Structure 1
Amino acid sequence: MMRALFVLVLASLFAVPALPAAAAAKEPPNIVYIVADDLGWKDVGFHGSDIQSPMLDALAKQGARFNQFYAQPMCTPTRAALMTGRYPFRYGLQTGVIPSGGSYGLATDEYLLPQMLKDRGYETALIGKWHLGHGKREYWPRQRGFDHFYGALVGEIDHFKHASHGVKDWYRDNTPLEEAGYDNTLFGEEAARLINGLSGEKPLFLYLAFTAPHSPFQAPEKDIARYAGIADEQRKLYAAMVSAMDDSIGLVLAALEAKGMRENTVIVFQSDNGGVRSALFAGESKVGDKLPADNGPYREGKGTLYEGGTRVAALIDWPGHIKPGVIEGMAHVVDMYPTLAAIAGAKLEKNKPLDGIDLWPSIREGKPTPRKEVVYNVDPTGGAIREGDMKLVWSAGLPGKVELFNIAKDPGEARNIAAENPKRVAALKERLIALSQQMVPPLLIMEAIKLTFGAPPIAAEPSTMFNEMGP
Structure 2
Amino acid sequence: MSFRFSLTFVLLATFACTLFAPAHAAEDPPNVVLIMVDDMGWSDLGCYGGEIETPHLDRLATEGIRFTQFYNCAKCETSRAALISGRYAPEVGIAKLQNCRTIAQRMRDAGYTTLMTGKWHLSGNPVDFGFDRYFGHLSGATNFFHGDNTFRLDDKPFEVPREGFYTTDADTDYAIEFLEEADDDRPVFLYIAYNAPHYPLHVPQEDFEKYRGRYRDGWDHLREQRLARVRQLGLLPEPFALPPRPEDVPAWDSLTDDQRDTQELMMAAYAGMIDRVDQNIGRLREALEKQGRFENTLFLFLSDNGACPFQRTKQKTLENQLMPWDPESYWTYDKGWAHACNTPFREYKRNQHEGGICTPLIAHWPAGISRPGRITSQPGQIVDLLATCIDVAGVDREDARAEAPLRGQSLKPIFEGQQRTPHDAIYFTFYGTHNALRVGDWKLVNIDRGPWELYNLAEDRTELHDRAGTDPERLQELRTRFEAMRDEIGTGRSGRRSKKSN
Normalising by the residue count of structure 2, what TM-score does the alignment of the two structures yield? 0.77
Take 1:271 and 1:29, find their aligned partners in 2: how far apart are those partners?
22
Query: What's 1:428 paired with?
Result: 478
Tell me the residue number matched to 1:330: 379
Q: Does 1:205 align with 2:189?
A: yes
Would you say the 8 A contact 1:328–1:369 is kept in 2?
Answer: no
Give the corresponding residue for 1:150.
135
Counting matched residue pairs gives 410
- Partner SS state of residue 351, structure 2: coil
Distance 2:122 2:151 in 1: 15
After superposition, the Cα gap between the structure-2 partners of 1:329 and 1:208, relative to the gap in structure 1 and judged at 3 Å, is same
Deviation (angstroms), 1:301: 1.1
Residue in structure 2 matching 1:296, options 326, 339, 343: 343
Report the AA paired with residue 59 of structure 1: L
> For 1:22-48, what per-residue CA distance to the aligned partner results, in whole angstroms no more than 9, with x for missing partners?
897342111000001111100001012
Give the match for residue 443 of structure 2.
Answer: 391
Query: What is the deviation of 1:155?
Result: 0.5
Between the aligned partners of 1:298 and 1:438, the Cα distance in structure 2 is: 30
Q: Which of the numbers 400, 411, 415 marks the counterpart of 1:363?
A: 415
Between the aligned partners of 2:106 and 2:24, the Cα distance in structure 1 is 21
**Which stretch shifts more, 222-231 or 114-123?**
222-231
The structure 1 residue matched to 2:289, chosen from 239, 257, 261, is 257
- Matching of residue 121 in structure 1 with residue 106 in structure 2: no
Pick closer, same or farther for the CA change 1:447–1:41 going to 2, 3 Å: closer
Contact 2:267 2:333 in 1 (8 A): no
Does the 8 Å CA contact 1:328/1:368 hold for their aligned counterparts?
A: no
The 5-angstrom pairing of residues 26-425 of structure 1 reads 26-93=27-94, 105-133=95-123, 139-163=124-148, 168-180=149-161, 181-230=165-214, 231=216, 232-279=264-311, 287-289=332-334, 292-293=337-338, 294-322=341-369, 323-324=371-372, 325-348=374-397, 349=399, 350-351=401-402, 352-367=404-419, 370-377=422-429, 379-381=431-433, 383-394=435-446, 397=449, 400-425=450-475
2:104 is paired with a residue whose SS is helix
Quick one: percent identity of the two aligned structures?
34
User: Aligned-pair distance for 1:61?
Assistant: 0.4
Given that residues 41 and 274 in structure 1 are in contact (C-alpha distance below 8 angstroms), is that contact kept between their aligned partners in structure 2?
yes
Structure 1 range deviating more: 351-360 or 109-118? 351-360
Structure with larger Rg: 2
- What SS does structure 1 have at the residue aligned with 2:43? coil
RMSD: 2.5
Partner amino acid, structure 2, of 1:354: L
Structure 1 residues 427 and 36 mapped into 2: Cα distance closer, same or farther (>3 Å)? same
Contact 1:274 1:311 in 2 (8 A): yes
CA distance in structure 1 between the partners assigned to 2:68 and 2:421 by the alignment: 10
Q: Does the aligned pair in 2 maintain the 1:331–1:369 contact within 8 Å?
A: no
Partner of 2:492: 442
In 1, Cα distance between equivalents of 2:487 and 2:333: 40
TM-superposed deviation, 1:355? 1.4
What are the superposed Cα offsets for residues 192-246 of structure 1, whole Å, 9 maximum, x if unpaired?
2222233302110000110110000011112112213334001100000001111
Query: Do the aligned partners of residues 18 and 280 (structure 1) sit closer, same or farther apart at CA in structure 2, a change above 3 Å counting?
Result: farther
Instruction: Write the distance in 2 (CA, Å) between the matches of 1:177 and 1:421.
Output: 57
Whether contact under 8 Å (2:212, 2:265) holds in the other structure is: no
Gaps of 5+ in 1: 1-16, 94-104, 134-138, 450-471
Cα distance in 1 for partners of 2:191, 2:333 equals 32
The Cα shift of 1:395 comes to 5.3
Q: Which amino acid aligns with 1:179?
A: V
Q: Aligned letter for 2:355?
A: G
Q: Give, in whole Å, the separation in 2 of the partners of 1:288 and 1:338.
A: 35
